């Protein structure tokens, strides 16, 4: 069915940066790194980098902090950890997917930092690390997709040192960009798109195994103390640079594929993301992108 999201696209829309990079990366590989696709990948990373950097800086790492990037994917945060911590190997990237780890390894090599990180493939429910191996476990956009978050939090707890911290990053609020009235079609397009997306996300989450509590509860139940949440705002305001324009075009264009949206809304998204249209959204000077990431963290005592 045309309006059904493919599994790949579902992931893409579910976790703005991480998944987008994963899926785009796949396309890059499939099309043998055509310039356009490689450029898009770089634009996505560039769009998010200031936000990622701000979040990671807040973690209070010092040289010598042993970091595990759990579910590191293609390595955006891994690269930042490698840059911030220097020396090496200071950070371990762990992921189920070999192709993602290979991609991350290539990026580390490109920067001239192959020795700054160790990459390990495996399932996070069976972490191949001794108890107390890490001072910080960072896991970004991973837990919301796991079938058993309790078991996963226990696994994290076991590999942390006493005094070590677990930082779990999830996006809580759907990003917004458009004003309520975009001057074409029915008003409130973005609200409807976001509501449809949230409905789909909750249904999808429930099929993976329910956890009827928030992340703070999960961390406390796993034995962490000083459990807290801190949110970070990523806002980008017009006029946008080339990388921001490329990312935002890509981000909005895909919204026409959200399951359950009205055909008129699908057409509207198509129309405002048509570069030749008078209503092309990036002709506007009043766009303001806002997204919120939250880091839920706790200390092992
Ligand atoms: C949405 S991506 C997030 C990537 C990265 N952390 C980021 O924020 O850019 C989720 C990652 O978790 C990994 N993952 C999912 N289940 C896993 C498991 N059971 N063990 C290890 N990694 C897993 C996936 O392979 C994927 O790379």
Ligand 1 atom 27: residue of nearest CA: 73
Q: What is the CATH number of the domain that holds 40?
A: 3.40.50.150
Residue 197 lies in a domain: yes
What is the rounded distance in angstroms from the CA atom of residue 134 to the CA atom of residue 136? 6
The pLDDT, as a whole number, for residue 87 is 83
Residue 1 lies in a domain: no
pLDDT along the chain (301 residues), means of 10: 33 36 32 45 90 97 95 95 91 96 94 95 98 98 95 98 98 90 97 95 88 96 98 97 96 95 97 98 98 98 95
Residue 139 lies in a domain: yes
State which residues form the domain around 84: 7-300
Residue 2 lies in a domain: no
Q: Which atom of ligand 1 is nearest to the CA of 125?
A: 19
Number of domains in the chain: 1
Residue (of 150, 138, 175) closest to 296 by Cα position:
138
End-to-end Cα distance, the chain: 51
What is the rounded distance in angstroms from the CA atom of residue 71 to the CA atom of residue 158? 17
Q: What does DSSP say about strands 224-237 and 160-176: parallel, antiparallel, or unpaired?
A: unpaired
Residue 162 lies in a domain: yes
Question: Can you tell me whether residue 231 is helix, strand or coil?
Answer: strand
Ligand 1 atom 7: residue of nearest CA: 18
Residue 205 Cα to ligand 1 midpoint, Å, equals 15
**Residue 142 CB–ligand 1 contact under 6 Å:** yes
**Residue 93 CB–ligand 1 contact under 6 Å:** no
What's this model's pTM, rounded to 2 decimal places?
0.87
């Amino acid at each position: 069915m045309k309006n059904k999201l493919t599994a790949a696209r579902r992931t893409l829309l579910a976790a703005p940066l991480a998944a987008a990079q994963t899926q785009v990366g796949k396309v890059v590989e499939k099309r043998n790194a055509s310039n356009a696709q490689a450029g898009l990948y770089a634009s996505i990373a560039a769009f998010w980098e200031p936000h990622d950097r701000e979040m990671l800086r807040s973690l209070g790492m010092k040289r010598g902090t042993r970091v595990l990037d759990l579910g590191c994917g293609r390595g955006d945060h891994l690269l930042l950890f490698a840059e911030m911590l220097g020396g090496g190997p200071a950070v371990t990237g762990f992921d189920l997917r070999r192709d993602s780890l290979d991609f991350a390894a290539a990026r580390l090599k490109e920067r001239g930092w192959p020795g700054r990180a160790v990459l390990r493939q495996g399932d996070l429910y069976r972490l191949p690390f001794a108890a107390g191996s890490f001072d910080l476990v960072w896991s970004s956009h991973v837990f919301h997709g796991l079938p058993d978050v309790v078991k996963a939090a226990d696994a994290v707890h076991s590999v942390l040192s006493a005094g070590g911290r677990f930082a779990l990053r999830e996006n809580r609020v759907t990003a917004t960009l458009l004003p309520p009235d975009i001057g074409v079609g029915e008003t409130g397009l973005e609200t409807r798109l976001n509501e449809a997306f949230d409905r789909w996300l909750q249904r999808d989450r429930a099929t993976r195994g329910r956890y009827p509590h928030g992340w703070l509860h999960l961390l406390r139940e796993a034995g962490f103390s000083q459990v807290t949440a801190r949110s970070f705002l990523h806002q980008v305001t017009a006029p946008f640079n080339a990388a921001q324009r490329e990312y935002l075009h890509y981000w909005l264009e895909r919204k026409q594929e959200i399951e359950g949206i009205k055909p008129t809304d699908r057409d509207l998204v198509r129309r405002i993301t048509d570069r030749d249209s008078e209503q092309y959204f990036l002709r506007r000077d009043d766009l303001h992108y806002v997204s919120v990431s939250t880091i839920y963290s706790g200390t092992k005592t």
